[in-house]
Structure 1
Amino acid sequence: MTKLKVGLLFGGRSGEHEVSISSARAIAKALNAEQNANKYEILPFYIQKDGRWLAGDAPQQVLGSGKALLESENSPNSQTQTLERWQFPSQVAEVDVWFPILHGPNGEDGTIQGLLTLMQVPFVGSGVLGSALGMDKIAMKMAFEQAGLPQVKYKALTRAQIWSNPCVFPKLCDEIEATLGYPCFVKPANLGSSVGIAKVRSRSELETALDQAASYDRRIIVEAGVVAREVECAVLGNDQPQASVIGEITFDSDFYDYETKYTEGRADLVIPASLPDDISRKIQDMALQAFAAVDAAGLSRVDFFYVEATGEILINEINTLPGFTATSMYPQLWSHSGVAFPELVDRLVQLALERHSPASAE
């Protein structure tokens, strides 16, 4: 039987470059597992932080070591560097199906998905629309609102509102205080993994956080704080997706920031979460609604706030390309739902092929 050549695409031009490498190593191991080894051949492609695509020995080296390549280790001379940065390795033409595992901007925001769509080769995960909506927190919340999904109060802002007119800025802060109160969360709209997010409790903290968020992104969102448990549900499928058991995140920091998320021992995953059956079912139903609301495909992790005192469930966000290490929440949720890691990776590849088939376009 001819093996299917899977283009494992990782690295990328975002602050989550190293997370992408960890996810790619876990996926490569799963594709090489006994039940998959006869079906798939891995063609790894590593995108350096400067945007250059590398094939052959370089990505194998990164997968083996788990460490990013220094650009100087594999850079052409200055005369050819700009040209070669935008050239693809010849092995790209051999790929039967792509498995992009690029987290953050330029990886899960629709940009790489648009490129892969132009290549007319199947790829794992959401398309351009689902990826873009899933990445932009403002557009995402608008889609959730249209779908009737309850969420915390929020205010959408632009960099121009924060920076361009010093006279307007105090009024903007007054409005945030009046409508959202403290504590509230200030977030860049288009950065993943809690990058640039600040929890604020005072006017001075709010002003600083808004200025900092505007330095990251031209679109900013401010959300009301809520006292709640943070629970998550994994979704797998295309037009008939399935929802996993529910998991809960507990942590020892003030909120689930980047450091807490990626520092060993700072956060614990509780699977399954200790929840009433009706609450778990409602969260699963809402996860599937969110998946449909942004036109996601393949995989997503949907995060919620559960206000235990009132029984209220509020959707927080959807992540259309979640972390995929063996200890990440998404594969762990499916493991506890009866889908082991190698089987999960296999199903994602098959879902990519299904979505790209002529029948699915009819």
Structure 2
Amino acid sequence: MNNKLTVAVIFGGQSSEHSVSCVSGVTVMKALDPEKYDMVLIGITEEGRWLLADSIEDVEKGTWENSKIQAIISPDAKDHGMLLMEDGKISKKKIDVIFPVLHGMYGEDGTIQGLFELAKIPYVGCGVLASSVSMDKWYTKIVVDDLAIRQAKYVPISHIDMRDIDSCTAKVEAALDYPVFVKPSKAGSSVGVNKASNRDELIAALEEALKHDIHILVEETIVGREIECAVLGGYDPIASDVGEVLSAEDFYTFDAKYNNQESKTDLHPVFPEGKLEEVKEDALKIFKALDGFGCSRVDFFMEKGTNEIVFNEINTLPGFTSISMYPMLWNEKGLDIRALTDRMIETAFERYVR
């Protein structure tokens, strides 16, 4: 009798972080214990096709996109099932739990979580509300404003505002001093993020951010240390210790994160007394306020000169690449990647236990 759980690992996706998701997905696939789990590998192409991948090797090579088998999760797939279609013929595959390893839009923003809810399939990670609000930096800030936790001063700009670029720049300049950071509200991995030191650079940064989202956030520059804290668990989550990002560039851009070998992470940074606990407490407060569940990585700055902790952003489906902070922080706490993925799958079932 086979008592193993069937886990659908979903990777890829339609966001600008598609390639990172594929790498993260391979890490998770290799971490899952074959004695405990049977895996079904589902890749989502950048065009939005859902395909059944034959093997981890296919995912590593990128040949999964040649698959002829279409995978469909549907509320009509009863008993936690997935529909597979090949040459017009439909078959059914049993699914016990879904492990989405998706970053950015249409993966981390609550949309796919809503599909899992409709299909009544347990899944790893935050639910619809936490995913959607946390994906949007603008609305995350609105929630955190009520927590008495400092965050960077900001000016929200919409695509409607952008019809009058002079008004936009005047609004920013009235509230913030240069340099400022300009971010698409719902992009991840620093995609579309730019630093602006004058009006011309601000206009260029706003126009670039608008390519990625209709909502834009312009923030004051916080000079200080970039630090991250991992949160894990269901209704009683815990926080890891804190890691520090040592970026090789002016700020932690997409290239600095994934392509520049000079970027480093310090898993044992030295902080002033009390600051480690402050970061951990703030991470849990933010996670809970956003209705977090399962996992998240919460990012902060420690401001130079004041040592004040300043909230930056939260990631509800943190990366699982070889350089990703989330699994490294838990490894330092005694949860290696296999134990960590086990725990994350356990939380998927805790969601339905009251």
What is the DSSP-based 3-state SS (H/G/I as helix, E as strand, rest coil) of the residue aligned with 2:160?
A: helix
Q: Of the candidates 241, 245, 269, which is equivalent to residue 237 of structure 2?
A: 241
Which whole-Å deviations, capped at 9, do the CAs of 1:303-348 have from their partners, x for residues lacking one? 0010141121110000000101243100001111121110000000
Per-residue deviation, residues 118-164 of structure 1 (Å, max 9, x unmatched) = 1101000001000001100101111111222210100111011012x
Distance in 1 between residues matched to 2:91 and 2:230, nearest whole Å: 33
The change in CA–CA distance for 1:53 and 1:227 in structure 2 (over 3 A counts) is same
Partner of 1:300: 296
How far off is 1:64 after superposition?
4.2
Q: CA shift at 1:61, angstroms?
A: 4.6
Q: What secondary structure, in the 3-state scheme, does the structure 2 residue paired with 1:216 have?
A: coil
2:346 paired with 1:350: yes
Aligned residue number for residue 42 of structure 1: 39
Residue 188 of structure 1 pairs with residue 184 of structure 2: yes
Higher helix residue share? 1
Q: Who is 2:19 aligned against?
A: 18
Secondary structure of the 1:125 match is coil
Correspondence 1:61-140 to 2 at 5 A: 61-65=57-61, 67=62, 69=64, 73-74=66-67, 88-89=83-84, 93-140=93-140
Matched residue type, 2:105: P
Aligned to 2:306: 310
1:271 aligned residue: 267
Structure 1: how far apart are the matches of 2:112 and 2:142?
23
d(CA) in 1 for partners of 2:202 and 2:348?
43
Q: Distance in 1 between matches of 2:31 and 2:5?
A: 15
Alpha-carbon distance in structure 1 between the residues aligned to 2:73 and 2:279: 44
The CA deviation string for residues 176-231 of structure 1, in whole angstroms up to 9 with x for no partner, is 11211101011110111101011000011011111221222111110000111100
Q: What is the root-mean-square deviation in Å for CA atoms of aligned residues? A: 2.2
Q: Structure 1, residues 241-261: CA drift from partner, whole Å, max 9, x if none?
A: 111010000112111111111
Aligned match of 2:228 in 232, 248, 251?
Answer: 232
Q: Within the alignment, does 1:285 sit opposite 2:286 as a pair?
A: no
Q: Which moved more, 1:313-322 or 1:260-269?
A: 260-269
Secondary structure in 2 matching 1:55: strand
Secondary structure of the equivalent of 2:342?
helix
Q: In the superposition, relative to structure 1, how do residues 281 and 85 fare at CA in structure 2: closer, same or farther (>3 Å)?
A: closer
Is the Cα contact below 8 Å between 1:108 and 1:321 reproduced in 2? yes
Aligned length: 341
Asked whether the equivalents of residues 138 and 156 of structure 1 are also in contact (C-alpha less than 8 Å), the reply is yes
Which segments of 5 or more consecutive residues in structure 2 lack a partner in the other structure? 75-81, 85-89
Q: Is the Cα contact below 8 Å between 2:53 and 2:64 reproduced in 1?
A: no
TM-score normalised by structure 1 residue count: 0.89
DSSP-derived class of the 1:152 partner: coil
Aligned-partner Cα distance in 2 for 1:190–1:88 = 31
Shift of 1:63: 2.6
Moved more, 316-325 or 41-50: 41-50
Equivalent in the alignment of 1:256: 252
Q: CA deviation at 1:239?
A: 1.3
Once the two structures are superposed, what CA deviation does each residue of 1:21-66 show, in whole Å capped at 9, x if it has no partner? 11111111111xxxx3322111111111221111152x5453342x
User: Offset of 1:267 from its aligned partner?
Assistant: 1.1
Counterpart contact for 1:48–1:69, Cα < 8 Å: no
Q: Greater shift after overlay, 338-347 or 45-54?
A: 45-54
1:54 aligns with 2:54: no
Letter in 2 for 1:157: I
Residue number in structure 2 paired with 1:219:
215
Q: Whole-Å Cα distance in 2 between the matches of residues 162 and 171 of structure 1?
A: 8
SS at match of 1:305: strand
Runs of 4+ in 1 over 4 A off after TM superposition: 84-88, 90-93
Which whole-Å CA distance do the structure 2 matches of 1:146 and 1:93 have between them? 45
Comparing 225-234 with 263-272, greater Cα deviation is found at 263-272
Q: 2 CA distance for matches of 1:199 and 1:3?
A: 49
Say if 2:226 and 2:245, in contact at 8 Å, map to a contact too.
Answer: yes
Structure-2 separation of matches of 1:243 and 1:293: 15
How far has the Cα of 1:111 moved from its partner?
0.6
Q: Any idea what SS the aligned residue of 1:300 has? A: strand
- Are residues 91 and 278 of structure 1, via their aligned partners in 2, closer, same or farther at CA, if it must alter by over 3 Å? farther
Residues in 2 aligned to 1:188 and 1:134: alpha-carbon distance in whole angstroms: 13
CA distance in 1, matches of 2:241, 2:103: 24
Q: What's the secondary structure of 2:287's corresponding residue? A: helix
More strand by percentage: 2
Identity of aligned residues (%): 41
SS in 2 for 1:37: coil
- Is the Cα contact below 8 Å between 2:179 and 2:220 reproduced in 1? yes
Q: Which runs of 5+ in 1 are unaligned?
A: none
SS state of the match for residue 335, structure 1? helix
